A and B are shown apart, each in its own frame.
Chain A
Amino acid sequence: MESSLVFDLTMMMAKILVILAGTLGVVPIMVWFERRGAAWMQRRVGPNRVGPFGLLQPLADVIKFIFKETFIPKEANKFYYLMAPIIALIAPLCALAVIPFGSKAIINGQEVILQVAQMDTGVIFILAFAGLEVYPVILAGWASRNKYSVLGALRGSSQIVSYEISMGIALLSMLVVYGSFNPHDMVAWQQGSLGFLPRWGAFVNPIGALIFWISIFAETNRLPFDLAEGESEIVAGYHLEYGGMKFAAFFMAEYVAMIMASGLLATLFFGGYGLPPGMSELVNIISAHFGFGAAGMQNTKAAFEFISFATKIAVFMFLFVWIRWTLPRFRFDQLMDLGWKILFPLSIINLVVVTLGVYYFNS
Chain B
Amino acid sequence: MSLPIIILCLISAILAVTMLFAKSPITSALCLLGVLIMTAGVYGLIGEHMIATIQLVVYAGAIMVLFIFSIMLLNLSNSENDFKQKPKIFIFGLAIGLSVFAFIANSILTHFQNHSSDRQLGIFTPQVVSDLGGNSKVLSHALFSQFYVSFEVISLALLVAVVGAVVLAKRKID
Contacts and interface: CB of A to CB of B under 8 A. Distances in A.
Please say whether chains A and B are actual partners in one complex. yes
Interface of A: 80, 119-121, 124-125, 127-132, 134-135, 138-139, 141-142, 150, 153-154, 157-158, 161, 181
Interface core residue of B26, B30, B49, B53 (most chain A CB under 10 Å): B53
Given A134-B65, A181-B136, A124 B72 contact: no
A158 B61 CA distance: 13
B72 A153 contact: yes
A131 B65 CA distance: 9
Interface in B30-70: 30, 33, 49-50, 53-54, 56-57, 60-62, 65, 68-69
Interface residues of B, number: 22
Contacts of A119: 49, 53
Interface of B: 26, 30, 33, 49-50, 53-54, 56-57, 60-62, 65, 68-69, 72-73, 133-137
B168 to A, nearest CB: 18
Given A138-B68, A138-B69, A124 B53 contact: yes
Contacts of B57: 124, 127-128, 131
A181 B137 CA distance: 9
A134 B64 CA distance: 10
A2 to B, nearest CB: 21
By secondary structure, the B interface counts as helix
Contacts of A129: 56
A120 B136 contact: yes
B72 A138 contact: yes
Contact of A120 (B33, B62, B73, B137): B137
Contacts of A181: 136
A68 B67 CA distance: 36
User: For the complex, would chain A's binding face be called helix, strand, loop or mixed by DSSP majority?
Assistant: helix
Nearest to A119: B49
18 contacts: A80-B30, A119-B49, A119-B53, A120-B135, A120-B136, A121-B53, A124-B136, A125-B49, A127-B57, A128-B57, A131-B56, A131-B57, A131-B62, A131-B65, A138-B65, A142-B72, A157-B65, A157-B69
Given A142-B26, A157-B65, A128 B56 contact: yes
Contacts of B134: 120
Contacts of A134: 61, 65
Nearest to A150: B72
Nearest to B56: A128
B56 A132 contact: yes
Given A80-B30, A128-B56, A142-B26, A121 B136 contact: yes
Contacts of A142: 26, 72
Contacts of B136: 120-121, 124, 181
